[in-house]
Amino acid sequence: IRVTNNLEAFWMPFTANRQFKSNPRMFVAAKDMHYTTADGRQVLDGTAGLWCCNAGHGRPKITEAIQKQAAELDYAPAFQMGHPAAFELASRLVQLTPQGIDHVFFANSGSEAVDSALKIALAYHRARGEGQRFRLIGRERGYHGVGFGGISVGGIVSNRKMFGTLLTGVDHIRHTHDLTRNAFSRGLPEHGAEYAEDLERVIALHDPSTIAAVIIEPIAGSTGVLLPPKGYLERIRAICDKHGILLIFDEVITGFGRLGAPFAADYFGVTPDMMTVAKGITSGVIPMGAVFAKKEIYDAFMTGPEHLIELFHGYTYSANPVACAAALGTLDTYAEEGLLTRAADLASYWEDAVHSLKGLPHVIDIRNLGLIGAIELEPIAGQPTKRAFSAFLKAYEKGLLIRTTGDIIALSPPLIISKAQIDELVTTLGDVLKTLD
């Protein structure tokens, strides 16, 4: 396989990669649970790419659907024309969404889905004749992509400090991660539902009738798999209802089977007003994102004092035919292999497997739910992220791909993983942890 010598032109997104530019780690192929490196090694995928390849890699239903669609109808201008795959996909998706959430708006990434949902929320109240509610509420340690909307409502200060002007009128509630009370608990944390009351504190900072929406990840994935305490999401829902504030679940990571149900909303039995998805919608193969919304939100634009025509929003590639075909192939694969509920069958095996790492050096917490997990490491004093990043490099050398964020190792394998591969994953990771400085 030819690897170009010009390593300068490609601007790799993250610092951790840029450091290795003189000798980049490169994947050249992928099949099912494994990547192949440029030097021909097999690497077990412990992260489903970047939390996205839920069906595994190189799945025939997906690649064939893409090839067929590209040859048949490659593009249809989304602002003027529909095409069959878009209607079919939207119809299939709303069969999976929680009851009452039955409209789909297509975008091309999680960041775009988040921006779209925030804009829809702002416009919704106005379309209902409620005036302009303009405030938004996010959560500390929330990650909602890298658009201006996403970094504004996101709760990672370092992701936004370089960028000057952000959305105005955004507040953040506290995150719920509390190792003093919940360390090493299995599944959902027992303690901390009362953190939801922080939403009342933030709402009280302003006139509640100026607040349009609250956006949270049911599980904060990118900042280290922070699980909601039992009862927390229910309380968030109740507080939003009390004040007429829309609730948006960002399900870019939790959507499409990660927890053993189609969406976290199903798993937790809490229905938001809108959901944002991406990643697993095409199993990571082709960029696509979407907003799922309740009918009343859609209807507000069609019947409100300011008609839909006032809501100019959409992307050149919204509902791109090839992306829709990829998503349909993905849904077929999920359905035929029962992947949207497979994590439920594997959850207890997975829980035991990841918790078997308890007691290894530097491990200060282990978390799990469905087929997601996290190993939190004690940071090296004055050198945050160093220990986990070293684990990442060592795991890669031993043939395992993990993701690290801060000093937390995040695990989210493709939903096709076998029990033997779960064993292999934790054995390799255990070997890595034993050798960390």
| Residues binding ligand PMP (CB under 6 A) | 109-111, 114, 143-145, 217, 221-222, 250, 252-253, 278
How far apart are the C-alpha atoms of 12 and 356, rounded to whole Å? Answer: 35
State whether the Cα torsion 55-57-61-66 is positive or negative: positive
Residue with smaller CB distance to ligand PMP, 143 or 263:
143
Residues 353, 426: contact at Cβ < 8 Å? Answer: yes
Instruction: Give the nearest residue (CB) to ligand PMP.
Output: 110
| Phi/psi of residue 75, nearest 5 degrees | -155, 145
**Cβ-based nearer residue to ligand PMP, 43 or 225:** 225
CB of residue 47 to ligand PMP, shortest distance in Å: 11
**Which CA distances in Å does 328 have to 253, 256, 300, 323, 333?**
19, 13, 29, 9, 9
Q: What is the nearest approach in angstroms of ligand PMP to the Cβ of residue 242? A: 25
Q: Which is nearer to ligand PMP, 167 or 357 (CB)?
A: 167
Choose between 47 and 428: whose C-beta lies nearer to ligand PMP: 47
Give 198 or 217: the residue with its C-beta nearer to ligand PMP: 217
Between 257 and 304, whose beta carbon lies closer to ligand PMP? Answer: 257
Quote the CA–CA distance of 413 and 386 in Å, as a whole number. 23
Rounded to whole angstroms, how far apart are CA atoms 393 and 76?
A: 43
Cα–Cα distance for residue pair 242/85, rounded to 1 Å? 39
Helix, strand, or coil here: 313? coil
Nearest approach, Cβ of 212 to ligand PMP (angstroms)?
18
The strand order across the sheet containing 42-45 reads: 27-31, 34-37, 42-45, 400-401
Amino acid at 308: L
Q: Kindly tell me which of 220 and 426 has the beta carbon lying closer to ligand PMP.
A: 220
Q: How far is the CB of 3 from ligand PMP (least distance, A)?
A: 25
By DSSP bridging, strand 42-45 and strand 34-37 are antiparallel
Smallest distance from ligand PMP to CB 50, Å: 6
Nearest distance in Å: CB 437, ligand PMP: 29
Strands 403-405, 101-107: pairing is unpaired
Vertex 97 angle, CA 95 and 103, to 5°: 85
Establish how many alpha carbons lie within 13 A of residue 428's alpha carbon, considering only the half-sphere containing its beta carbon: 23
Q: Report the nearest approach of ligand PMP to the CB of residue 117 (Å).
A: 10
Residues 6 or more apart whose Cβ sits within 8 Å of residue 301 = 123, 124, 127, 307, 308, 311
CB nearer to ligand PMP: give 253 or 346.
253
Nearer to ligand PMP, 109 or 271 (CB): 109
Query: Closest distance between ligand PMP and the C-beta of residue 145, in Å?
Result: 3
Residue 143 CB, shortest distance to ligand PMP, in Å, is 5
Q: What's the helix, strand, coil split of the chain in %, to 5?
A: 40, 20, 40
Q: For the chain, what is the radius of gyration of the CA atoms?
A: 21
- The closest of 352, 275, 99, 230 to 264, measured between CA atoms, is 275
Q: Which is nearer to ligand PMP, 47 or 421 (CB)?
A: 47
Q: How far is the CB of 240 from ligand PMP (least distance, A)?
A: 19
Whole-angstrom Cα distance, residue 282 to residue 53? Answer: 8
